[in-house]
Amino acid sequence: MRLKRFVGIALTIATIATASGCASGFSAHTNSQKPSGNGRFASADALEIRGATIVADPKDPSKGTLLVTIYNSGDTADAFTGITANEVAGQSNQAIPLPAGQAVRIGFNSDFSFPLTSNNLLVPGNFVALNLDFANSTSAKMRLLVNTNTGIYAGVKIS
């Protein structure tokens, strides 16, 4: 009887340790969490794309704004030159500089904006496939969620 109880307790402890991740040590999923926040994340060489999303006015699905923060972790400067996409066109009046070792915000609380236009495809809740293009780094292929310009995006200017 004592042996059965001991085996039962040992099995219970082993199951709890394995199921909770405690037995995984430094490779446990809780030690390698993805960044939290709104938007998508990607990398292109030394560039880290953070919080990329599109904000559009639901009353006019032909116009939107790209919101993104790009961190250049490299030793040399780069530039955000635009997007390539089948469904959406984007235009900036200049290449947006990405200084080495700095983060640049585009679209909100920023000196840089990147308006988007489409054939009424910028409907909140839809995903838009596009590539972020850079002067010296590879393009970043992304599928970005279209958000409405309400709530946390209420202050975003739609051009």
Q: Where are the domains of the chain?
A: 2-31, 40-153
Q: Which amino acid is at 45?
A: D
CA distance between the termini of the chain: 76
The arithmetic mean of pLDDT across residues 94-117, rounded, is 92
Per-chain mean pLDDT for the chain: 85
Indicate whether 30 pLDDT > 80.
no
Q: Residue 28's pLDDT is what?
A: 62
Topology (CATH) of 40-153: Immunoglobulin-like (2.60.40)
The yes-or-no verdict on residue 146 having pLDDT over 60 is: yes
Long-range CB pairs of 29-37, under 8 A, 24+ apart, other chains included:
none
Q: What percent of the chain has pLDDT over 90?
A: 48
Return the closest-CA partner of residue 60 out of 13, 99, 115, 19: 115
The whole-angstrom separation of Cα 78 and Cα 72 is 8
More confident residue, 22 or 137: 137
pTM of the model: 0.75
What residue type is 42 in one-letter code?
A
Instruction: Return the closest-CA partner of residue 47 out of 142, 120, 122.
Output: 142
Q: What per-residue confidence (pLDDT) applies to 27?
A: 62
